[in-house]
Structures are given as C-alpha cells and as structure tokens.
C-alpha cells in the first residue's frame, strides 16, 4: 500500500488526565504508520477544556511519550488557535451550514422521548431552521443564547478505510451535530476538523468508535476545505476473555507502569501487535515495530488486552538485556554486583526489582531454611576448603551424596534452601561461587548471615 510522501498524522490527547494504555495504542499506531512511510508525527494538545485541563497533565503527556520513545516532529496547542476556529465558524455560518438553535436540553430530551415512543430514530428535527428572523430576534431579546449545529446533507458518505475497507454512513439518519455550545465554547469536532485542515493532516487514525462520527466530520471537512483526509479505524481493546475492558485495566496509566520500572518496549511490543496477525513477542527496538507495521495485519475482532502480557514481555526483555543497559537501574536499587552477577540472575527475573532479592542472597543477611539440621550440619563439614570456583559445587554435592546417601531433589533442595533461602533460582554452581565459603558454612549451621 503506497502513501503520499507528504504524509502527516496526529495524536491529540486532552490534558485532563494521565495517559493510559488505550491512549498509547492510538499514539503508537499513528507513530508506526507515520514512521513506516517517512511521514510527520504531530502532537496536538487538545486543551480547550479550561476547567479540567492542567499544565501538570500536559507535562505528564510529554514525559510519557518521551519515555516510550514516541517522539513527535512538532507540537500544537488548541488553546492558542481560537482565532482560527472563529474564522472557520464564521465561514460556515456565511454558507448557511452552521445554524443557531434555541431549544433547551430539557426540550431536546422531551423531543427524543416522543420520537422513541413513536418508533422513530431520536434525531434532531431541525425545528430551528424553520424559525423566522422575527422569531430569532425574539429569542435574542429574551436572552436565549443559541447553540450552533452543522447542517448535514443527508447523503450517504463513503470512504475507503485503511483498516476496515469500504465504509459508508448515512448522514440522513443522524442529528445535525452541535459544534458550538450556547456559552460560545467549541465542542471537540470543529476545532479538530479545522486543525486537521489547517495543519495539513493527511491521515486520521483512531478507534472504531469514531466510525459513525467520521460520516459527519467528512462533510465538515469538505465544507471547510473541499477535501478530506484518509481515515483508518482500528478495533478497540477488550479484556482477556473478550469482555468489555474494565475501568481498572482501561485506565492502566503509563506513569504507573513507569513507576513499576516496566521497560517501555514491553508496553510498545504488546500494544503494537494486539489484534494483528503477528505474534506478540518482545522487541528490543521500536524500529523493529516500524519495519513490520501494516494496517493489513490488523483484524476486525477486538484486540484482547491482558496486563499479565506486559509483565511477561518485560521479563523477556530483561532476560535478553545486556549489563550495560541495566547497570544504572541496578545501582539505583542497590543490586549491582557486576556483569557476571547480572548474567547469572537475569534469566530468573520476573521484574527488575527481583534483582535485589538475589543481591541480598549473595550479600546477606538471609534467614537460611533448615529442615533437617543433622543433614545440614553434615554438609557443612564437607564444604571444599579455600575459595570456591566453577567446580566446587559439583565436588561438594558429590561428597554430600556419598556421605548421606541422599540424591536428586532430596539432596539439592535442602542445600539450595539453606544457602539461598529460596526454592528456585539461578544455577547453584555459580551462586555457590558468589556466596563463598564463609557464608556457606554459617548458613548450613543455621546462622543468619
């Protein structure tokens, strides 16, 4: 599938809360599509909700995207573009496509109830279009401020969706959308369309819950500019069993995952492949995700999100990570015992903070688990003399086996528990070298060291 060289996409979060996995999936699909086609990635901050928008949330959006490696090429703030929206609104009014309506919310609710009771679709009846100039003047004199609706054509709007193929929406079955509230505030649609036109957005990529909206928005695009961008609507996230995504999972914030020290590429690897024909596996570089991206791979079924997969992929990345990548993080949690230590333990980690457990096993103190004091005492007497090396564990366990007659699990599990206070873990031959003779003697005697 080929696209124009001047491709430009946008991610447009509102700074009214923290970014969560659903937001990031939208940002990521736009980013991958854009980078795969050498396009321009715009970050548009939709900060027109002056009551709920905060500078703190806006900073958090930029920090989350930067941490994930989703770097934008330019940034725009809707709060600085009001004059552009005013001009577009004036132009639509002059064309007779943006008209004033004076019904209150209670009146509109009553109309919808009546239509529903008659088995009719509850769409706006365009009563305000029939008002005379005198009736409008009467409303104005009474202080009734209008909200403004865009007049839809009633035609069937057809487009070739990047994900869903040919799509069509009958605008005759829709209410004329309100673009400006009675208090003069713009609703999302008009600023968004105006920005997409003014900032030369070529492709709008978003969730399939916007498919119906696209029919009306295409008419607004064409009324403003005579053209429309291309659209791509991808399936939404659902829970692991296909259930509606719970608030807890849907609002899983990127900040909280960062605080858990989850690798950014674990999050991106999962969100990039959910609902596609590709397998979900850990990728170390975002360039790999760009190279394998295609809308053709996205299925029509909802994408199943399980937070356990984030942790699974994070563990996979840890198992592949080189010491230089993680050394600063290990130092920050007092778990940096060098490259050999990292190479020993990384295959046993579920999360990076687990490294502190194994650093503690080596450095101590730990409370050894002694289930058979007589066996442990006998083993202590058979420890090799001097400094341990890679052959010491084998020599030691063979001596204990010969002395006690124990073998297999009955031999190795009590020794592991006594020396590490853990039932599972890294290779004991290497751990034995790190623990050393002094600690091994003390732990086999049941001492906390």
Q: What is the pLDDT along the chain (449 residues), one digit of tens a residue?
A: 344 458 999 999 999 999 999 899 999 999 999 999 999 999 999 998 888 999 999 999 999 999 999 999 999 999 999 999 999 999 999 999 999 999 998 989 998 898 888 888 889 999 999 999 999 999 999 999 999 999 999 999 999 999 999 999 999 999 999 999 999 999 999 999 999 999 999 999 999 999 999 999 999 999 999 999 999 999 998 887 777 765 555 557 899 999 988 999 999 999 999 999 999 999 999 999 999 999 999 999 999 999 999 999 999 999 999 999 999 999 999 999 999 999 999 999 999 999 999 999 999 999 999 999 999 999 999 999 999 999 999 999 999 999 999 999 999 999 999 999 999 999 999 999 999 999 999 999 999 99
Same domain, 10 and 46: yes
Q: Is 179 helix (H, G, I), strand (E, B) or coil?
A: strand
Instruction: Kindly give the pairing relationship between strand 203-207 and strand 303-304.
Output: unpaired
Q: Any idea what the CATH number is for the domain that residue 173 is in? A: 3.90.800.10
Task: Provide the terminal-to-terminal Cα distance of the chain, rounded to the nearest Å.
Answer: 64
Same domain, 169 and 246: no
Same domain, 316 and 328: no
Please name every residue paired with 75 in a beta bridge, in sequence order, or none if there are none. 43
Q: Give me the number of domains the chain comprises.
A: 4
Q: Any idea what the CATH number is for the domain that residue 285 is in? A: 3.40.50.620
Q: Is 39 helix (H, G, I), strand (E, B) or coil?
A: coil
Same domain, 173 and 103: yes
Range of 271's domain?
A: 1-77+235-320
Question: In angstroms, how far is CA 157 from the centroid of its own chain?
Answer: 32
Nearest to 266, CA basis, from 28, 60, 36: 28
Same domain, 57 and 73: yes
| Cα 271 to Cα 237: distance, rounded to the nearest angstrom | 10
- Confirm whether 299 is domain-assigned: yes
Same domain, 316 and 396: no
Contacts of 138 (CB under 8 A, 6+ apart): none
Q: Is 14 helix (H, G, I), strand (E, B) or coil?
A: coil
Angle between helices 355-363 and 428-444 (to 10 degrees): 50
CA-only gyration radius of the chain, Å: 31
Same domain, 383 and 298: no
Same domain, 55 and 91: no
- Confirm whether 224 is domain-assigned: no
| Cα 250 to Cα 21: distance, rounded to the nearest angstrom | 7
- Confirm whether 194 is domain-assigned: no
Same domain, 346 and 297: no
| Cα 274 to Cα 276: distance, rounded to the nearest angstrom | 6
């Amino acid at each position: 599938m080929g696209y124009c060289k001047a491709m430009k996409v946008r991610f447009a979060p509102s700074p009214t809360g923290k970014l969560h996995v659903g937001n990031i999936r939208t940002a990521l699909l736009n980013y991958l599509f854009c980078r795969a086609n050498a396009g321009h990635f715009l970050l548009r901050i939709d900060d027109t909700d002056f009551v709920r928008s905060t500078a703190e949330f806006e900073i958090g959006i930029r920090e989350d995207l930067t941490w994930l490696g989703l770097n934008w090429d330019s940034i725009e703030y809707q709060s600085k573009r009001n004059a552009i929206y005013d001009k577009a609104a004036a132009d639509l009014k002059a064309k007779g496509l943006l008209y004033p309506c004076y019904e209150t919310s209670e009146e509109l609710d009553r109309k919808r109830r009546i239509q529903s009771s008659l088995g009719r679709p509850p769409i706006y009846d365009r009563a305000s279009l029939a008002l005379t100039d005198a009736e409008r003047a009467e409303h104005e004199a009474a202080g009734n401020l209008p909200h403004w609706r865009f007049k839809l054509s009633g035609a069937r709007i057809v487009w070739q969706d990047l994900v869903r193929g040919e799509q069509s929406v009958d605008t005759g079955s829709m209410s004329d959308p309100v673009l400006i509230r009675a208090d003069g505030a713009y609703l999302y649609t008009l600023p968004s369309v105006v920005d997409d036109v003014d900032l030369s957005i070529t492709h709008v990529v978003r969730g399939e819950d916007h498919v119906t909206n696209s029919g009306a928005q295409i008419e607004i695009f064409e009324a403003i500019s005579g053209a429309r961008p291309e659209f791509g609507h991808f399936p939404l996230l659902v829970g692991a069993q296909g259930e509606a995504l719970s608030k807890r999972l849907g609002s899983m914030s990127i900040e909280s995952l960062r605080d858990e020290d989850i690798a950014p590429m674990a999050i991106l690897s999962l969100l990039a492949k959910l609902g596609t024909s590709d397998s979900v596996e850990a990728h170390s570089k975002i360039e790999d995700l760009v190279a394998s991206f295609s809308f053709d791979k996205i299925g029509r079924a909802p994408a199943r999100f399980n937070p356990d997969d984030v942790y699974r992929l994070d563990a996979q990345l840890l198992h592949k990570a080189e010491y230089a990548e993680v050394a600063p993080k290990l130092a920050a949690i007092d778990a940096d015992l060098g490259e050999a230590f990292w190479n020993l333990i990384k295959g046993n980690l579920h999360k990076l903070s687990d490294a502190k457990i194994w650093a503690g096993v080596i450095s101590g103190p730990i409370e050894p688990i002694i289930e058979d004091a007589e066996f442990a005492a006998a083993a202590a007497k058979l420890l090799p003399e001097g400094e341990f090396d890679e052959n010491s564990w084998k020599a030691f366990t063979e001596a204990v086996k010969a002395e006690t007659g124990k073998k297999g699990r009955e031999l190795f599990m009590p020794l592991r528990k006594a020396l590490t206070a853990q039932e599972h873990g890294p290779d004991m031959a290497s751990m034995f070298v790190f623990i050393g003779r002094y600690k091994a003697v003390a732990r086999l005697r049941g001492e906390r060291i």
